[in-house]
Amino acid sequence: MTNHVYRSTLVPVRRTGGGSISRACTPVSACSGFVLGCLFSADTSGLPCESNEHCQTGQVCVANTCRDNDSDTTAQDDGTLTIGEDSSSADTGTADTCANMVQDGDESDVDCGGGCFGCQRGMGCAEHSDCLDGVCTEFMCAEPTCEDGVKNGAETDIDCGTTCSPCGDGLACMNGGDCASAVCTNQRCAAPDCDDAVQNGNETDLDCGGDCPNRCMDFQGCAANEDCSSGVCDVVTMVCAAPTCGDVTHNGSETDIDCGGDACNGCAEGLMCTHGSDCLSEFCNQGLCQPQACDSDDDCDTYDGDCTQGVCNTMTSTCESAPANNLGSCEDGAVCTTGEYCSEGSCVGGTQKDCSQLTGACTLGVCDPADGECTTLPANEGVPCEDGVPCTDDFDATESTCQAGVCVAERWTVVWIDRFEDLDTSKAFWKLGPTWEIGRATASPVSETSGADPEFDHSPSDDNHLAGVLIGGLTELVLHDYYHLTSSAISLESMPGTPYPPGTRIGLWYWIDVDYPEWQHATIDLCNPSDGCVLAVENTGYIEGTTWLPQYFDIATYFSNVPQTMTLDVAYNQINLDGAWAVGGWSIDDVALCIPK
């Protein structure tokens, strides 16, 4: 092998339905630099060709372009085809110059620009209006970007929405993910308010904190004490802390700061109370704790505590609370804090129990004040999240949002998924060919593509398991036919005789480090008993394994009739050793079957 020049990605093999394939060969001059050779398309009209076999049925190759075969298309003696003149145009002396395969008139390229349709990317232009995407750079129609000042590509408004930055208030949108406010109403981004069921604006959690009149409840997000109903924002976790008897704040059931109520010690004289039990003196009068009569310190033991000692003031013959056990340990009554100490008669300090290991995109790990155990609370309600399921269009995380602590796909229901969490279950479900393994993700040595096997799996769970080729190692340079990873039968029926609805998809996440197809061919096939196996994706060049990528397949487009069951087959071979590379190969995770809601 003399040259390793072009890097590639997996190329989908798109089908028109019933498993038939339409192919259009793209010459190198028309390629973007990443994909060379033949691509597959459901409609070849207008695509480059070299002969009729490169065009779909009912079309012919005319001047290296696929066109519909109608009465105006005639064969020449040399076997090429030409488009005949329309009789009405001949009579008037005019012709449709936007379809004559010649750059003429005010066209900026062949049959496009000027008064014709806009030109595709990579074609000539004189001004922005000559291009379909509205961007002309150095006399060539350019790829849309998020900074070109034009609404193009998948943007919902100028340079914002979908894959660009979120749009501001009043700009066009399709869903909340397109908006900085995360609220899309009547296809316009709405300004944040405190009742829109979305965390936006300067809210610190859902419709609370910041400028909202609603204070956030315990364990919700905060930026300052003022954001919390408890009046205490934990500076470490940045969530509202539950009231304690040592937080130097009047909160919870306390009748005054850190005293009285159900959980704290009684309050000293002059502090607020509602019942005698709120007071050290056990005497509450007109909402204030009153002193207790005494003759000696022995009469004042009700004032004794972790940080106080009851003493009798001989001048007034009343009990008082004196600081004691300064800097000594104490208990503030909160089971979620440890390390409290006495300071000037109060139990203060303490460290909140760390439960951050349970925090996720839609959950917050917190300590339960009832028993001191770590648990989770729903968080980020309505905020876009990544559910890890490869079924969403463009794999846009905004199609999923946090709902009651779970990342839920807005448009899809996952009816089956294998995250390879349980190794025994997964190994029983998948048939492993030579070199295929199911186990813990392990980074491999860097291959000659500059890629490697992943160190971590894709699943949001902490199992770190996946399916892969020689996990943690590189492929052996030995000639061999395809080595397969094949699933067991996957049911495509909700019940016998009732198939899943149109639009049902199967998807997966893959990480692949692979050589050129002349040396190593990597494929994914969809199979069923009636149609056999249908090629779905393949590599068209080498691929550097550096990231997890999603891929889904609409099942109905690959089979003549939606079968009762199907299998998924992932494979690779080694067909040439001369100059071949040892590579990381396939890694697979989060295989899912999804039906539209």
Lowest pLDDT segment from 38-42, 100-104, 282-286, 421-425: 38-42
Mean of the pLDDT values across residues 225-241?
91
Domain parsing of the chain, residue ranges: 1-6+14-70, 100-137, 412-596
Phi-psi region for residue 260, left (φ > 0), alpha (ψ -120 to 50) or beta? Answer: left
Burial 17-53 (b: 16+ CB within 10 A, else e): eebeebbbbbeeeeeeeebbeebbbeebeebbbeeee
Helix intervals (H) in 407-554: 423-429
pLDDT band at 82 (very low <50, low <70, confident <90, very high): very low
**Which amino acid does the sequence have at 361?**
A
Architecture of domain 412-596: Sandwich (2.60)
For 548-565, give the DSSP string.
Answer: -EEEEEEGGGTSSS--SE
Handedness of CA 488, 493, 497, 501 (dihedral sign): negative
Residue with tokens 């339409």, as numbered in its chain: 22
Is 218 or 52 the better-scoring residue by pLDDT? 218
Mean of the pLDDT values across residues 100-104?
89
pLDDT band at 392 (very low <50, low <70, confident <90, very high): low
Is 87 or 134 the better-scoring residue by pLDDT? 134
For 201-248, give the DSSP string.
Answer: TT-SBTTBSTTSSSPBPTTSB-SSGGGBTTS-B-TTT-BBPPP-TTSS
**11 — phi, psi (to 5°)?**
-105, 120
Closest by CA position to 418, among listed 467, 360, 469, 468:
467
Read off the tokens for 121.
């990317």
Mean of the pLDDT values across residues 352-372?
86
pLDDT band at 58 (very low <50, low <70, confident <90, very high): low
Distances (CA, A) of 283 to 256, 291, 314, 318, 396: 15, 7, 19, 12, 64
Q: Is the pLDDT of residue 291 over 50?
A: yes
